Amino acid sequence: MDSSLENILQDGKLYRQLNSLIVAHLRHNNLNQAASAVASATMTPLNVEAPANRLLELVAMGLAVEKDEMVRGVPSSLSYDSSTLMPAGCGSIHGSRSATVDFSAVQDTKGSSKSFPKHETRHLSEHKNVARCARFSPDGKYIATGSSDTSIKLFEVSKIKQMMLPDQRDGPVRPVIRTFYDHTQPINDLDFHPESNILISASKDHTIKFFDISKMTAKRAFRVIQDTHNVRSVSFHPSGDFLLAGTDHPIPHLYDINTFQCYLSANVPEIGVGGAINQVRYSATGGMYVTASKDGAIRIWDGINASCVRSIVGAHGTSEATSAIFTKDQRFILSCGKDSTVKLWEVSTGRLVKQYLGAIHTQLRCQAIFNDTEEFILSIDEPNNEIVVWDAVTTEKVARWPSNHIGAPRWLEHSPVEAAFVSCGTDKSIRYWKENL
């Protein structure tokens, strides 16, 4: 067949699939008049079958891959396979150093665990009260920390690395480049906008505040969302147009950041009075989000219609579930609880896949996190004041390190792009850890 004709036929097939996804997307979101108009204009059957969130997921995946390639400075490699309408080679969103680990494909094999590289650590700064939370920017260039003293510190990672050089001769390097003061109560959580120079903070003062990190002299927020509850956790949608707030209310609050309109799910399970949300996090495409609640449950929510699609009740028994995050491929959720367990759950079934034991955490709102390649899991042992590391596949403990904090740290956050993480302490201090090269 003539190559130009073949290309025309392939393009036609691609457009038909795209039109089908658009019509299905509009119909599933009850935009029936628009769906009918597009179907008529493109000669697409109005009742075409397609998964409800497929179009949104594909767009989010493509944007995430494009952004990742821009961060790494490589030319865009998005080439489309018209048989699937998926960017070639992006069945999952890859990290900058390694593909996502497939936990379901590898059996537990004791004795085959990987070694976690040794890290060096450095004290970065101190708040005036407990350092409660931290977040890396999506490109790994910045770290923000929040404190009980109501302040937020912004660090530049390149300056931290300069500070840690053994032959640093240019005088003291100050990695803190901004300090924001605009809350009246402790900071609970932070997040960076996926595209813009915006940092948001969640506070016990019932507000979510927006800070412009590009302005050198900015000390205060330029926008404020006033919630009705203590805001315990925040998470930006990957598009940056929406954000989730986990509060003392048992249902996540979804905000449109352009209008500040708040949406609540109309389809929620029965949640008791102890259902306050400790953490809320979007999946990589925004097609789902997950909450970890004080009633011990992990709940998975539809990112489009905000309905609760799965409740894992008693995920951590009667103890609080303190953190929950998706794997990069969105197939699993890693959770942590005050029952001293870290657990990996299959999203599609709610099945417990793996448990990571041997670290005691019963008091603090402890985090369990992946390293940037998802080969390892890190958490806290409170009584021993240690950072504990497991092989994510075999579940074996592969490292226990003194935290170097006075008292157990209360928060860990790993860089999304390299072998580095931060720890926040009840001793008010922030420490940076990076792999020894």
| pLDDT tens figures, 365-396 | 889 999 999 999 999 999 999 999 999 999 99
CA angle, residues 282, 288, 290, in degrees to nearest 5:
60
| pLDDT tens figures, 345-356 | 999 999 999 999
Buried b (16+ CB within 10 A) or exposed e, 299-334: bbbbbbbbebebbbeebbeebbbbbbbbbbbbbbbb
Order across the sheet with 369-370: list the strands: 369-370, 376-381, 386-391, 397-402
pLDDT at 109 over 70: no
pLDDT at 95 over 50: no
pLDDT at 93 over 90: no
pLDDT at 88 over 50: no
Q: Average pLDDT in the 397-417 region? A: 93
Cα–Cα distance measured from residue 127 to residue 180, given in angstroms and rounded to the nearest whole number: 12
Question: What confidence score (pLDDT) does residue 44 get?
Answer: 80
Half-sphere exposure of 239 (CA within 13 A, CB side): 17
Handedness of CA 326, 59, 246, 372 (dihedral sign): positive
| pLDDT tens figures, 36-53 | 888 777 778 888 887 767
Enumerate the β-bridge partners of residue 131. Answer: 147
Asked if residue 148 lies in contact with residue 167, where contact means CB atoms within 8 angstroms, the answer is no
Question: What confidence score (pLDDT) does residue 79 get?
Answer: 42
Cα–Cα distance measured from residue 180 to residue 153, given in angstroms and rounded to the nearest whole number: 6
Residue 384: helix, strand or coil by DSSP? coil
Buried b (16+ CB within 10 A) or exposed e, 260-289: eeeeebeebeebeeebbbbbbbbbbbbbbb
Asked if residue 390 lies in contact with residue 401, where contact means CB atoms within 8 angstroms, the answer is no
